[in-house]
């Protein structure tokens, strides 16, 4: 069942990807460009963005720090001056493993600033535009780590849970205004963030495969887009367990 207006024809559409210097963001920007979209890419690394723009004719690099509200608004205004924006995808992310025995409040706040507050700044910049047009699409990249608490995810998991709730609430408020909202929950994707993991990651896929899953989800009008399903369906099933079962199962599966 389509919960959003399906997005199937990207020719002439304007898209903005925040966090597009590598990983899922860059791969999705490439996939959208290959289907005819006008692509704006943002991240902190100007060299990476410039390299993307050089490889993709017509793409525009807009370097910014997602944690700086002023730079986010300035980038959005630059896009609006070229015409209407059709889709924004927030894919900026930060991850360092952490357990309660090594609690670091500055690391916790760093996760919050990049993974969640940056998304709020982007929403602040684009929502009036979308509401005024009664059109547009907001994509938020969360994670299966946001479904339930997981070991070593003390900094990361809560921010991804916040994005899940944010996406659900946005959908409730915007569904009658023809503004789409998608909540994207990947499992393990081979990115610079997951490269930190020292364990075998089940169901690991490439950023390019992740990008194709996202585009397929948008084409079907899905609200939640999760992949790879051979892994994420297990995570969804585990999330439904009562706490009395969930915690022992997670301990047994992870050994932590």
Report the catalytic residues: 156
DSSP state at residue 199: S
Are 49 and 21 in contact by the 8 Å Cβ rule? The answer is yes
Rounded CA gap, 160 and 167, in Å?
11
Contacts of 35 (CB under 8 A, 6+ apart): 10, 11, 215
Which tokens go with 27?
Answer: 């791969």
User: Pick from 214, 213, 131, 211: which is nearest to 170 by CA?
Assistant: 131
Cβ neighbours, 10 Å, residue 135: 16
Which tokens go with 110?
Answer: 């760093």
Are 211 and 24 in contact by the 8 Å Cβ rule? The answer is yes
Are 154 and 99 in contact by the 8 Å Cβ rule? The answer is yes
Contacts of 32 (CB under 8 A, 6+ apart): 10, 15, 17, 39, 215
Rounded CA gap, 18 and 119, in Å?
9
DSSP state at residue 8: -
Query: Which uninterrupted H or E stretch holds 228?
Result: none
Q: In whole angstroms, how far apart are CA 129 and each of 3, 94, 116?
A: 21, 28, 21
């Amino acid at each position: 069942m389509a919960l959003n207006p399906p997005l199937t024809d990207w020719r002439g559409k304007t898209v903005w990807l925040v966090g597009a210097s590598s990983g899922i963001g860059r791969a999705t920007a490439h996939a959208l460009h290959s289907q005819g979209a006008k692509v704006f890419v943002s991240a902190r690394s100007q060299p990476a963005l410039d390299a993307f723009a050089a490889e993709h004719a017509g793409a525009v690099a807009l370097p910014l720090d997602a944690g700086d509200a002023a730079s986010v608004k300035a980038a959005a205004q630059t896009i609006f001056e070229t015409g209407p924006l059709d889709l924004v995808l927030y894919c900026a992310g930060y991850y360092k493993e952490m357990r309660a025995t090594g609690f670091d409040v500055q690391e916790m706040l760093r996760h919050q600033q990049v993974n969640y507050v940056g998304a709020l700044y982007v929403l602040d910049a684009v929502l009036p535009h979308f509401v005024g047009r009664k059109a547009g699409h907001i994509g938020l990249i969360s994670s299966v780590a946001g479904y339930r608490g997981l070991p070593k995810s003390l900094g990361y998991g809560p921010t991804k849970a916040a994005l899940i709730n944010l996406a659900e609430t946005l959908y409730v408020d915007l569904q009658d205004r023809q503004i789409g909202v998608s909540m994207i929950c990947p499992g393990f994707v081979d990115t610079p963030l997951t490269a930190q993991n020292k364990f075998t990651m089940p169901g690991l896929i490439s950023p390019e495969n992740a990008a194709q899953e996202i585009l397929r989800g948008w084409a079907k009008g899905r609200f939640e887009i999760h992949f790879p399903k051979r892994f994420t369906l297990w995570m969804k099933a585990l999330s439904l367990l009562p706490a009395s079962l969930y915690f022992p199962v997670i301990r047994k599966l992870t050994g932590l």
